[in-house]
Chains A and B, each alone.
Chain A
């Protein structure tokens, strides 16, 4: 179908990152996230950005597709930069440039905002890289495997994994459905790109109402279909148990200490 889903969509491939164990990928992303939030310098950020760039290169995932995943975040990113860069106490702030009265611009705040925005971007890109290179089943299996110890605490690990798997599976379907409804309402004369903020928000009502009604209906049908096939969520086994290969261990053993070093020392 037509619709491209920038986030949550698996792009099949045979690269090292594609074939790497999903648990390792999750572990590396957690380590990467630690490095991202524990570090505080531009050098660390540049290094992590370079790592991400290499990751996308090795996975043969076009950066253009990844960048589309950042588009929905543009408001948050711009807000983060502006909230840090603009001040209403320009007179009393050090280094602030007054623009109108007390309203001014803080170069230092601008850099801080840029830093936080970059951090959000890298976080999204890292998690996107995992979903771009791992299919939903492998990802759900990996989560089930990682959460297995929680069974001792009576946490419904299998149910959570199934829910996660279904949620991932239905992201493209839901996006496709949304696109179809947008087109149908466009054919009924709705103009999504005209008017002020309030008007633009209101024109989404004819999309969101049928979308959610459809989603609930689909969820209900899916639950019935799963029950009809005797799903209980208990005692489920896999045809292929994921096995950690030597290269997976090597990747994990390199990525985790490296992330700690970046996070702690840079």
Chain B
């Protein structure tokens, strides 16, 4: 039982003057209840990888299977960048029920699922269900669009830059959603530039550079060795850079570096500099 991507390659506009390779020999596996973060610079192939994984693009080489069967559109829930631009129905509930109805779910059941999904994204059913999706704020529209995918109850979900353009509350919602999906046993792949936000909350990380995987492994391994980011020509995320800076202040401050970094990284840090540093000047941020 897993979402399995095996040695896939993909080329856009193959055989024309506009052709360009987007993916080369990519393999990954996502188990139910696990999450994988895909990181890479613009143009490294992240979005293409998600589209192939969701069965929306057919790979030139390799295969994608979902629980043993070849993946088809609709089997893997895909949240596109700015998914609110896909809303179209007269009512919010109608828009959310659109996916389940397409899957052949009976009308009543589809609308029941839509109400559940609306609640799951933190919107009041009675207040929102009859409203037009075009009357919503950006953050609310994003939640409704995601509810449209949740209502399809896919065993795996892929999210392309889910926090792009959202305010603090919206970003917090996406983080909670990720935790919620994992606890429900949904396998998740997230593409994001917000490494600081997602890194502490995922199990695995894939670094993409120039169409290829340059590193993949456990998130904690990457946190323990943040210099790996340079393999993908990416700067070290702020929090990990902060952790490194703390490690350089030996003998100046009194605190548990590992504990502070673990706090900053949401409790997932395991690779910070070991041991206590002897006190000379008091607490972090104190006067020199």
Contact = CB atoms under 8 A, between A and B. Distances in A.
Contact of A206 (B18, B98, B152): B98
A187 B80 CA distance: 9
A198 interface: no
A257 to B, nearest CB: 34
B56 interface: yes
A185 B18 contact: no
Question: Which size class do A's interface residues fall under?
Answer: 20 to 34
Nearest to A13: B17
B103 interface: yes
A64 B88 CA distance: 35
A187 B102 contact: no
A207 B17 CA distance: 28
Contacts of A206: 86, 88-89, 98
Given A183-B51, A187-B56, A210-B88, A4 B74 contact: no
A184 B83 contact: yes
A14 to B, nearest CB: 14
Q: Is the interface of A mostly helix, strand, loop or mixed?
A: helix
A184 B12 contact: no
Interface string A58-77: 00001011000000000000
Nearest to A203: B102
Contact of B152 (A11, A183, A188, A210): A188
Question: Which size class do B's interface residues fall under?
Answer: 20 to 34
B275 interface: no
Contacts of B134: 213
Nearest to A186: B73
Nearest to B154: A187
A214 interface: yes
Interface string A181-208: 1011111111100000000000001110
B139 interface: no
Interface in B64-98: 73-74, 76-78, 80, 83, 85-89, 98
B152 A186 contact: no
B240 interface: no
B38 to A, nearest CB: 17
B73 A189 contact: yes
A189 B88 contact: no
Interface string B130-166: 0000100000000000001100100000000000000
Contacts of B209: none
A189 to B, nearest CB: 3
Interface in B7-44: 12-13, 15-18, 22
A214 B17 contact: no
Contacts of A185: 86
A189 B83 contact: no
Given A183-B56, A206-B98, A64 B15 contact: yes
A177 B82 CA distance: 11
Contact of A188 (B16, B57, B149): B149
B99 interface: yes
A246 interface: no
Most buried by B among A62, A186, A205: A186
A213 B95 CA distance: 15
B48 interface: yes
A213 B88 CA distance: 9
Interface string B89-116: 1000000001101110000000000000
Interface of A: 1-2, 4, 11, 62, 64-65, 177, 180-181, 183-191, 205-207, 209-210, 213-214
Given A185-B86, A189-B99, A205-B88, 13 more contacts: A2-B13, A2-B48, A4-B18, A64-B16, A180-B85, A183-B51, A183-B78, A183-B80, A184-B78, A184-B86, A186-B56, A186-B73, A188-B148
List 5 A-B pairs, minimum CB-CB distance, nearest first: A189-B102, A209-B88, A188-B99, A187-B78, A189-B74
Interface of B: 12-13, 15-18, 22, 48, 51, 54, 56-57, 73-74, 76-78, 80, 83, 85-89, 98-99, 101-103, 134, 148-149, 152
18 contacts: A2-B57, A4-B18, A62-B16, A177-B85, A183-B51, A183-B80, A184-B78, A184-B80, A187-B73, A187-B76, A188-B152, A189-B73, A189-B152, A206-B98, A210-B85, A210-B88, A213-B134, A214-B85
